Structure formats: structure tokens, C-alpha cells
Structure 1
Amino acid sequence: MSTREDGRADDELRPITITRNWLDHPAGSVLVEFGRTRVLCAASASEGVPRWRKGSGLGWVTAEYAMLPAATNTRSDRESVKGRIGGRTHEISRLIGRSLRAVIDDKRLGENTIQIDCDVLQADGGTRTAAITGAYVALADACAKLGVPGALTGSVAAVSVGIIDGVPRLDLPYVEDVRAETDMNVVMTGDGKFVEVQGTAEGAAFDRSELDALLALAEKGCADLTRLQAEALGR
């Protein structure tokens, strides 16, 4: 019998929806939903690369992450109004970019840039992992539209895991995330390799067996997400 508020098993993802072509203008766009967390990912392509990359023959993939003011239960001002980008926003933007670059062949992309904008419409935990998972699908569509589908060397997805009341759990909503004794975000390629592991103990340290249990959960979750990405792309 489940002890989670939403009735899920400890190793079960929230309901996941990946809706492609959500916007008209970008080369690729996806609305990704992890339960009540909703993130809009848009991939825009442009000729040229940053100055430091010119003449290399290599392309560039980068990302920006942001949250709508009303994405959480308490409205927050836009960072553009504040006049500076917050540390969390900058960190997540870089994480998304690194994750996507792990599955891109820069040479095949040529000297073109793909910019992924990830905007959180509603936040209920796992916004960065949802953004990475949706951004990959938007990137795949953008590469196809650019005529360089071979630029993708694989797929990438991400999921959160954590220990709540001593129990390892997969894909944490906000109510679990704020109570987690250990919280971890795991990014993996479709063939089961780790791109990034971000883990933090909140008050009580975790041991190797707990780490192994969390990584096993993350592997299962990312494998399920990889399958859902492939289904969304019709593969």
C-alpha cells in the first residue's frame, strides 16, 4: 500500500505528458508535464556561433531557464525586473545546456547555434528535470528541421529522487521535495550513462547503500522517460 500523498508506488513516475509543436515559430517546441509541473521548451536555430567558437566548424547548443511569476503559490517578480539573473536560474540554465551538449555532435551541427528556452509555467517539484527531458525532444525536432538529425548522438533525460521518512522515492513533487532527508537530480543518456548527479543531504548524511538505492531508482526513471521521449518522437 502506497504511503505517498498521490498514491504512487515509491518507484513510479508522476503522469508524464510530452506535447510537441506547442508553439508555431521555433524550430522545435514541447510542453512537458511531470504531474502538475509544466515546462515549455522552445528550440530556436540561428546561423553562426559565439565569437570564441568562430572558425572551428563546430556548432553550439545553449539553454536559458526561467519561471513565470505565478508558477508557484506565491508570486515572484521577474528577474528582468530585478535587473539580475539569480544564482539558481543561472545554475539550472547551465545544467540544461550541459545535458543537451552531452548528446550533440558539434561537427554535424556546423557553425550554427540552437538556443533552448525553458520556461516553467507551473512548478510542483522537478522543474529542472522536466526541462531537460522536454528540451531534448524540442532539440530533436529542431535538428530534424535544420536537416541535421544525425547531429544527435543519443537521447538525454533527467529525474529527481530522494529519501523521505527513510524511504527512497522517485520523481518528487513539491510536498516530498521540501521534506526530503536526501534530494538528488540525475541526468542520464538513453543508453544508461550518467551525465550529471547532483545530490545533497538535508540535515542527515546518507550512506553508500542509500546512494545506490537512489541511483537505481533514477536509472529506472530515466529509462521510462527515454521510452516516453521516443514515443513522443514517433520512434
Structure 2
Amino acid sequence: MTLPPRTGRDALTPRPLSVQRGVNPHAPGSAHLKLGRTEILATVSVEDKPAPHMRGKKEGWLTAEYAMLPRATTDRQARERNLQNGRRHEIQRLLGRALRASLDLRHFRNQTLYVDCDVLVADGGTRVASVLAGYAALHDFADRLIHAGKLSEWPLAHAVGAASVGLIGDELRVDLDYAEDKVARADLNVVATDAGLLIEAQGGAEEGPITHAEYVRLLTAGVEAVGALLRELHRQL
């Protein structure tokens, strides 16, 4: 098998990351993130009403939505209008779990936070890039609340990020682009904190079973890649 080439990075180095916060003047928190050629716009909105299942609870709630714009890919995709689209629903649940893990929701009692992640350009890793963009938007949101005097305590309990990792032939690579992702014989999307605490691992084998040792290598490399990406993200925030 001929491995897709990598330009300017080795197998364990993520793609270049850049982030700009506060890009949407109407949103209380926002970020535009690039991971290689993948681009995500994330915004935070607040509704002063609890989610139905959180009425009477001491915590607020965070929910996430994900969408891919029609020309995010090489060919135009129909605009996503069906909220029950299987892939979209799966990604939204992943984003919600990841971003809720970053927040101390006791600061938002009787409120619902919405994090919208829109894929502007897709070149692999859109869900992991959306986790990073969503966290960056929440960081922008939290910073604005502190500076406006609306909160006296930093509400982000954990720095949360995500990275993709896969086996292409016998080579382990992190942060797969589209060309790599489509030929990987196994891949994982790993969500973790900057301290190396695992939140979620999502994925599996594509071309037959893999060994326990291979899975552990994937998971370990994914957690390490998350740490590297979050260090770069915080450097720019």
C-alpha cells in the first residue's frame, strides 16, 4: 500500500492550528479555527431558560449543534435541514458531551448554553476541529463574562480538546486529513483534557480487527496529540 504523503510534518505531529476569537459581533462568545485546511466557525448563545430536564436543578445545561455548509467539500452537498441526520446527530452528541465536560455548569443555573459549530471547509477531522473551536468559543465567552463583571470565578473547569488518530498500513498517524482518513484501516477520535484525562474515544477498525496493543497505541497517541493541540490553542487565545 502506498501511504498518502505528509508535507511539513511527521506522523505524530498535528496539522498547523490557528484560531481567532471574538469573530462574531452578535455572539457573546465565538471563534474561527483552522486545523490544516479544515475550518470551523463556533458561536456561543445563552437562553435564560433551563432545559426541560434541568428544571429545579442547581446546574444549567449546554447543548451543541453541528452543520456542514454546502461548499465545505469538493462537491456541493445539500444543505442539512434534517435534524435527525444520523451522522450529524452523532457528532452533535459528541460535541455536547465534550463541551459540557469543560464547564462548571453551576455558574449557569436556569440557563441553557448553545454552541453552534459550522464547518466552512472540510478536509478531515471536522468533529475534532469542532470540539477545539467550541472550546475556544467558550473560552472567549468566559473571558468576556469575567471582564464584564458578570462572573467572579472562571467557569471553565477543564481545557478540553480532541484529535483524530489512525493506522494507515502499519504506520500510526495523528490528526488525519481526508486523504489519510479514507484509507485508514482503523481510526479513533479522542476527546481529552490538557491534563491527559480521557473524556471519550470514538471509532474502530475499518478493515478487520486490530490488536489490543494497537488500540492502546492509538489511544495514547490521541491523548498526547490533544495536549499538543491545546497548548497551541492556549498560546493563541
TM, length-normalised to structure 1: 0.93
Is 1:167 the counterpart of 2:171? The answer is yes
Unaligned runs of 5+ residues in structure 2 are none
Sort the Cα spacing of 1:3 and 1:78 in 2 relative to 1 into closer, same or farther, 3 A.
Answer: closer
Identical-pair percentage: 40
Residues in 2 aligned to 1:6 and 1:104: alpha-carbon distance in whole angstroms: 36
CA displacement at 1:62 relative to structure 2? 0.9
Is 1:47 the counterpart of 2:51? The answer is no
Is 1:86 the counterpart of 2:85? The answer is yes
CA displacement at 1:131 relative to structure 2? 0.3
2:216 pairs, out of 209, 212, 215, with: 212
C-alpha RMSD of the superposition: 1.6
Residues in 1 aligned to 2:62 and 2:23: alpha-carbon distance in whole angstroms: 21
Report the count of equivalent residues. 230
Is the CA contact (8 Å cut-off) linking 2:4 and 2:180 kept in structure 1?
Answer: no
CA displacement at 1:108 relative to structure 2? 2.0
Matches within 5 A, 1:183-198: 183-198=187-202
The equivalent residue for 1:15 is: 16
The equivalent residue for 1:222 is: 226
Bigger Cα displacement from structure 2, 53-62 vs 36-45:
53-62
The equivalent residue for 1:126 is: 125
Is the CA contact (8 Å cut-off) linking 1:20 and 1:232 kept in structure 2?
Answer: no
Is 1:33 the counterpart of 2:34? The answer is yes
Is 1:201 the counterpart of 2:205? The answer is yes
The equivalent residue for 2:61 is: 60
Residues in 2 aligned to 1:28 and 1:34: alpha-carbon distance in whole angstroms: 20
CA displacement at 1:7 relative to structure 2? 4.0
Residues in 1 aligned to 2:55 and 2:217: alpha-carbon distance in whole angstroms: 44
Unaligned runs of 5+ residues in structure 1 are none
Render the CA deviation track for 1:155-187: whole Å, top value 9, x for unaligned.
100000000021000000000000000011000
Residues in 2 aligned to 1:222 and 1:84: alpha-carbon distance in whole angstroms: 29
Render the CA deviation track for 1:34-89: whole Å, top value 9, x for unaligned.
10000101111221211221222311111000000111111111122xx4531000
Residues in 2 aligned to 1:3 and 1:94: alpha-carbon distance in whole angstroms: 31
Is the CA contact (8 Å cut-off) linking 2:191 and 2:201 kept in structure 1?
Answer: yes
Paired amino acid for 2:201 = V
